[in-house]
Chain A
Amino acid sequence: MRFEPAASQGRERAPAALKLAVAGVLLFLHLPFAIIVLYAFTTDDASYRFPPPGLTLDWLQVAWNRPDVWQALGLSLRVAAAATAAALVLGTLAAAAVHKSRFFGREALSFLLILPIALPGIVTGIALRSAMSLASIPFSFWTVVVGHATFCVVVVYNNVLARLRRTPASLAEASMDLGATPQQTFRRILLPHLATALVAGGMLAFALSFDEIIVTTFTAGQQQTLPIWIYAQLSKPRQRPVTNVVAVFVVLTTAVPILLAHLLTRDKGGGIAGER
């Protein structure tokens, strides 16, 4: 329940100092992105000299022709796709269960779902690593996926649960009362209502997985996802702008799903009656 001013009699004006602080924090949050982009075009390939001695587009081509970049990208995409699929199924089921009924341990389940992202990343990583070592499971594509899916579930869960809470149960009941089969009710009523939440949750899970490095380090062995590739490049002195080009690419690839997810799940109309 939120209290809006009875009549919008004009908003108060923020103090100038507050506005200044806001601008400062926003700059702090966003300027580093501009720096990364700038350095993807520098002609200086061995140091971080500022201002760059010259600008060039050559690094785009060099990065394009590097097979190791493509390999890492391919692995990252496949891992993210598999982890997202698993998270979608598990997160939706958990959200449905928690929404549907109050059961013993309901709070504990929410807590358990949050734990993989609330506990420090190395905990999840080393826990999986130690379980693999105890069970003598070798590193593989699937060990990476299992790690990613574990912390992606909560993102889908949150999105779907929030949507379920805004979807009246009477809709599905009415559909069934009017003679629709469960499949029809699911396809025509439930799915359209959940669709954007699922897409948004899925995209956030994808972005989360695509970008993850801490847990991955423990579960990947010699395999290189894109973040691990970048991390390995940071200690190499040559061709630094190639890393910058890949970094810009990663930022752009994750920004698109994030923006879309945000657009799909925000409250339309800022809380019109009946929305909450």
Chain B
Amino acid sequence: MRSTRRSPGRAAATFLFLRPRLALGLLLAPPLAWLGAVYLGSLASLVVQSFFHLDGFTGQVIRKFTFATWRDLMTPANFDIALRTATMAAAVTVAAALLAFPLAYYMARYASPAVKAVLMVGVLLPLWSSYLVRVYSWKLILAKEGVFAWFVGQAGLTWLLERVLALPVIGGPSLSVSSLGTFLAFLYVWLPYMILPIEAALQRVPRSLVEASADLGARPAQTFRRVTLPLALPGVIAGSIFTFSLTLGDFVVPSVLGNSSLFIGQAVLAHQGTAGNIPLAAAFTVIPMAIMGAYLLFARRLGAFDAL
């Protein structure tokens, strides 16, 4: 009888089949140990570090509980950095949602399966391909002698570009060293992260609802505003988690394309690097963590996690 054949493998499988809790524990142990020890442990150490203090004379970190580092953090200059970063993140998120929506809408509503497959690759390729190279490409494009300025010159609009660059906060000597340039590069690198969740949300809007709305006498614009848009909102929120969070924690874009005003990421990098002030860098990082924590809770209430 084959079915009564005993093998060590089968015995073990039977053993585990009868003890699902143990089987589950064995499956869970390695990933939990990794994320628990490495990731959560590191996050905990981050919080702990922020209560240590750097001795200004010896350059050594004093491992004693103190609020001194948090006091160092509360300066107007650091507040400016946090505000600047959060404002940029918000601006990038809004712009990304505006640009992403038409493409996502077209993909979900109008594109034939073949066209949709091509568009999908068209969005996925930039999403996954080298982020650094994509940031760098904007340095080439926005440089004073670069592509964009050339096209503007050909169109006879150099005066307009100069007037925009002369604006106080967003301008600068050239687009590649201005807040406007930073904004464009951020928008470019994070845009695919906004397109995909919106597309997924729109895809799930039942066509029958749209038809019902039309049958009941709504104009297309009304249907769009009252039916499609509310149902797509969780997708927009899901996408905004990515665009917002990625912008908050980036130091590459502002240092490649920005002017001298710092973003949170650059400040953290500078404090932990040459200064060796890991406590202050850690305390600084708690700001984006707190912002994102609040944002995630808010997004959860709006049902964004179903759209991820």
Contact = CB atoms under 8 A, between A and B. Distances in A.
Contacts of A96: 27
A12 B27 contact: no
B288 A127 contact: no
Contact of A120 (B99, B102, B147, B292): B292
B218 interface: no
B285 A126 contact: yes
A19 B106 contact: yes
Contacts of A32: 134, 137-138, 141, 188
A126 B103 contact: no
Contacts of A128: 38, 42
Contacts of A97: 24, 27-28, 31
A189 B252 CA distance: 45
B110 A2 contact: no
Contact of A35 (B48, B61, B147, B288): B147
A211 B130 contact: yes
B9 interface: yes
Nearest to A179: B2
B34 interface: yes
Interface string B272-285: 10000010011001
B145 A90 contact: no
B168 interface: no
B13 interface: yes
A93 B30 contact: yes
A122 B251 contact: yes
A18 interface: yes
Given A18-B102, A94-B31, A118-B296, A48 B269 contact: no
A21 B103 contact: yes
B125 interface: yes
B35 A153 contact: yes
A190 B146 CA distance: 54
A3 B207 contact: yes
A262 B120 contact: yes
Interface size class, chain B: 35 or more
Interface stretch (B64-72, B73-81, B227-235, B240-248): B240-248
Interface stretch (A59-67, A191-199, A249-257): A249-257
B20 interface: yes
Interface size class of A (residues with CB under 8 A): 35 or more
A47 B5 CA distance: 75
B289 A119 contact: yes
B289 A123 contact: yes
Interface of A is mostly: helix
Nearest to B16: A182
B303 interface: no
A270 to B, nearest CB: 5
B7 A181 contact: yes
A169 B164 CA distance: 61
B160 interface: no
A146 B139 CA distance: 31
B46 interface: yes
Contacts of A103: 24, 28
Contacts of B103: 21-22, 25-26
B24 A101 contact: yes
Interface string B76-106: 0000000000000000000000011011011
Contacts of A208: 128
A127 B44 CA distance: 8
A116 interface: yes
A39 B140 contact: yes
A11 interface: yes
B208 interface: yes
A22 B102 contact: yes
Interface in A146-199: 146, 149-150, 153, 176, 179, 181-183
Contact of B99 (A19, A28, A133): A28
Nearest to A21: B102
Contacts of B265: 120-122, 214
A266 interface: yes
A213 B132 contact: yes
B59 interface: no
B180 to A, nearest CB: 15
Nearest to A86: B34
Contacts of A116: 39
B252 A214 contact: yes
A121 B250 contact: yes
A259 to B, nearest CB: 7
A64 B179 CA distance: 36
B137 A133 contact: no
Contacts of B269: 122, 217-218
A124 B42 CA distance: 8
Contacts of B141: 32, 35
25 contacts: A18-B102, A21-B102, A22-B102, A25-B102, A26-B103, A47-B143, A49-B146, A50-B150, A97-B27, A97-B28, A113-B31, A116-B39, A120-B248, A120-B288, A124-B39, A124-B42, A126-B268, A130-B281, A133-B49, A176-B13, A204-B128, A214-B250, A234-B256, A250-B133, A262-B124
Shortest 3 CB-CB contacts between residues of A and residues of B: A120-B249, A32-B137, A127-B42
